Structure 1
């Protein structure tokens, strides 16, 4: 791990690190916010943020205003990139496939399967890396936005016991049923709809091995609400299975970081209750 940025923030420090990823086969960047307690040598819980389409590690750390609340609750915030990148990494001209659009799964189809192993990276490699380089308690939560909201929900559901808390902003809750997910899943996973269901939060609720409470915020002025997000499908699946879900439709809010910044404090407080 090589630290390539550091900035004092709310008594803590916002850092950006770069490392060679064994899962992805490329160098990856990630934002790490260390609250005051971490700088003082105390072990802290870790909260992972997964960003949406086109984002890098920079979007969340510069736009969400999360450092203030991470400092208040003494949690380490980790914000990785959204995909492998670089020369020799498969890509597509469209914004919703390839670099910047990893969908937080392990691709099984060529040419994507060579590098696109984001589930292994987020769920396994990254926690081990963070534990080696920082003092952590072993408790961790996960949250994200849009494609990253999809990633947070599905990784929490696919790896029971790995996370103590989960939440999402504007998540793609049923990627197998909407254009963004169908395009990505067909490319990364092929035509097997069973493979798609294994990475679809709505489908995963039917067989969830634990009842980890879900907090989801969605703006009702989001341009993608009807076409790509469809949170009512998650509500229906939660109702059918008795899975705890707090779905909040926020009037007037869109898909942007203005929305995220407005409620990020409540989300970090939600996680902090489970991570202490």
Structure 2
């Protein structure tokens, strides 16, 4: 690994690291915020980790520069890890649109070429990255996961697909039913093929119907979000949760849109939510 950024922040350090990913077959960046409790000599105890997943077009930079999360992570003693949204590099397949290819990995394992060679973001986020973090940083196996938009979809799906791996999960403006949304339909058709039955394994609404673990879901959604009706449709997940008896807290926030202004407004509450679960 190579550390490429190192900045003091709220008594801790906001770093960015680069490494060679086996799961993705390329070089990847990820951001790590180490709160003051992680400093050598201050605590011998390993700290819990919140994994943050980004939306379309983002890199590891968006959350660490716009969300204001470090202040709350320092307060609660939580490490935050934020990986990139897709594999990167000249050898990685791409498309000429923002919602497919680089920056749009959708946190799944692609089965169709040319995507299947590198696009295995589920295995990277759920498997390879936590092993790396827990081996190289003062991080415990107490994990939480959250994200925004496409990353909210990723957080929900990864938590539902991996029972027992996370203590808590939350999302901002998630794509809750990608099989029924233009963004998801485009990506799933390319990455997974035409058989819609295979899509269900990567759709939070579908996964909720058969989920064995009743991990409570916390979702914040802005009522002024420009993508609310066409792409996000949280009421679809709400109906599935009610039908299956799965615990869901869906908070509709008046006046808020899809931007990081929305995330910054409520990220403190989300980190407090995760911190409580991680301490339990």
- TM-score with structure 1 length normalisation? 0.99
For residues 1-276 of structure 1, the aligned pairs below 5 Å read 1-39=1-39, 40-41=42-43, 42-276=45-279
TM superposition outliers: structure 1 runs of 4+ over 3 Å: none
SS at match of 1:198: helix
SS in 1 for 2:214: coil
The 2-side partners of 1:82 and 1:24 are apart by 12
What CA deviation, in whole Å up to 9, does each residue of 1:156-176 have, x standing for no partner? 000000111000000000000
Q: CA deviation at 1:136?
A: 1.8
Report the number of matched residues: 276
Distance in 1, Cα, partners of 2:2 & 2:75: 27
What runs of 5+ residues in structure 2 fail to find an aligned partner? Answer: none
Give deviations 1:170-221, integer Å, cap 9, x for gaps: 0000000010000000000001111101100001110001000000000000
2:202 is paired with a residue whose SS is coil
Unpaired runs of 5+ residues, structure 1, are: none
Q: CA deviation at 1:86?
A: 1.1
In the alignment, the residues of structure 2 paired with residue 185 and residue 172 of structure 1 have an alpha-carbon distance, to the nearest angstrom, of 13
> C-alpha displacement at 1:126, in angstroms?
0.3
Per-residue CA deviations over 1:101-127 (Å, capped at 9, x if unaligned) read 000000000000000000000000000
For structure 1, which segment, 44-53 or 33-42, has the greater mean C-alpha deviation from structure 2 after superposition?
33-42
Shift of 1:94: 0.3
TM-score normalised over the length of structure 2: 0.98
Question: Please, what is the CA RMSD of the aligned residues?
Answer: 0.6
Question: How far does residue 138 in structure 1 lie from its aligned partner after superposition?
Answer: 1.1
Cα offset for 1:137?
Answer: 2.2
Which 10-residue stretch deviates more, 38-47 or 109-118?
A: 38-47
SS state at 1:207 partner: coil
